[in-house]
Amino acid sequence: MKTYTYKKSQELFKKAAEVIPCGIYGHFSPAPLIPVTDYPFYIDKAKGSRFWDVDGNEFIDYMCAYGPMVLGYNNPLIDAAAEEQRKKVNCGTAPARVMVDLAQEMVNTVDIADWAFFAKNGADMTTFSLMVARAHTGRNKIIRLKGGYHGTAPWMQSPDHHGITFNDNKDIVMGEWNNYEALEKYIHEHKGEVAGIISTPYHHPTFADNELPAKGYWKKVEALCKNEGVVLIIDAVRTGFRLDYGGSNEYFDFKPDLIAFCKAIANGYPISSLVGTNEMMNAASNVFHTGSYWYSAEPMAAALATIRELKRVNAVEKMFETGTKLGNGLIELAKDHGYNMKMSGHPAMPYFRITDDPSLMLHQKWCGECTKRGAYFTSHHNWFMSAAHTDEDIAETLKIADEGFKAIKE
């Protein structure tokens, strides 16, 4: 099997490094792509479940733009809906009608939603959710959980990071995933101080196995929040519309007060949303939060079409199925080669790890070997399935994975 090289990617990166801090910053930084020489840095085009890099190499994509791609790249239906709106107006002096239609669609689709607010990025909405919780309760403290990611605003980062101060984190309290007792203890000891708890519906940290909620965990947290007047915020930026149309909390059978959506909401068009219950609406109305592009109508049209299309093609069920097939196939293959592959998290966003080497070095090598043969795998982050991934993609991926296992033995 041919292995890829990335001459043009690397040349372009060198140029980029001269005019862009870090060359490629943030979550696309090549730093966690290990070995870095096995990965492309720049994309040229994409279609369906695949993308082509600037060197012309073709990949079956298991990162899906780190989540936004859910119905296939360049999905004609979504692009047509967006284009139709763009021709009328995108960024105007007032909102377009589509905004109301989209809000209605969110309210109709997401179980707890009585209203929907729109912005651009996930962090716009996780930050807004804190403001709403504080406005609603008149309290300051927010509990977030270790290893949870909510974006890059100062409150979301540890104060030892560059550019962040201890003051930025003054009212942020760190809890622990699946540790109900600690949450309860803190809230009871700080009665009337905690405005909200923000958490992902299940734990999907990087560099570690993903963890589902323990039995009864969410029900207990929900009850605690109700009793103590604490706003329960679910960050579904990653999980939204991949686990359940009605909200990924529904998949785990509990009801938060607020849910933040982003990635899968518009198949790559820039939009995010916070939805909430009636009880939260007054606070959401009182908080001032906006942005230059938050009313742009093209992504709203794309989101409306995406949510409808997700339901029409049974995307959630499909991603569960293909993710499970991929997982079972990889586990089986690994076994044939004498390795133990562990799959954790949800099948639509699986995290894989070869457990034989706890340092991850073997797993990194395998991910690199597969990537340079055409199956784009990362070793530090959960992967993403899309409704565009086909059985043929999975079959081809497993062939590549088999070669990957052979390569790491050499």
- The interface partner of residue 150, options being ligand PLP, other proteins, none and the CB cut-off 5 to 8 Å by kind, is ligand PLP
The dihedral through the CA atoms of 126, 127, 128, 134 has a sign that is positive
**CB count in 10 Å sphere of residue 31:** 11
Q: Which of 238, 255, 318, 372 binds ligand PLP (CB under 6 A)?
A: 238
Residue whose C-alpha is closest to residue 313's, from 322, 325, 324, 300: 322
Stretch that binds other proteins, among 22-30, 184-192, 242-250, 266-274 (CB under 8 A): 22-30
- Give me the 260-289 binding string for other proteins, x by CB under 8 A, dash otherwise: ------------------------------
Enclosing H/E stretch for 209: none
Residues 158-217 that bind ligand PLP (CB under 6 A): 200
Enclosing H/E stretch for 172: strand 172-175
Residue whose C-alpha is closest to residue 267's, from 313, 210, 235: 313
- The interface partner of residue 223, options being ligand PLP, other proteins, none and the CB cut-off 5 to 8 Å by kind, is none
Quote the least distance from Cβ 173 to other proteins, whole Å: 15
**Could you give the angle at the alpha carbon of 123 between the alpha carbons of 119 and 125, nearest 5°?**
45
The reply on whether position 151 binds ligand PLP by CB under 6 A is yes
**CB count in 10 Å sphere of residue 265:** 30
- The interface partner of residue 36, options being other proteins, ligand PLP, none and the CB cut-off 5 to 8 Å by kind, is other proteins
Tokens linked to 392: 């043929």
The reply on whether position 123 binds ligand PLP by CB under 6 A is yes
* CA-to-CA dists, residue 337 to 71, 330, 355, 399, angstroms: 33, 11, 13, 13
The reply on whether position 34 binds other proteins by CB under 8 A is yes
Q: Which residue has the tokens 């070997």?
A: 369
Q: Which of 178, 206, 277, 390 binds other proteins (CB under 8 A)?
A: 206
Residues within the interface to ligand PLP (CB under 6 A): 121-123, 126, 149-151, 200, 235, 237-238, 262
> Which residues contribute to the site for other proteins (CB under 8 A)?
10, 13-14, 17, 21-25, 29-32, 34-37, 41, 158-162, 166, 206-207, 358-361, 364, 380
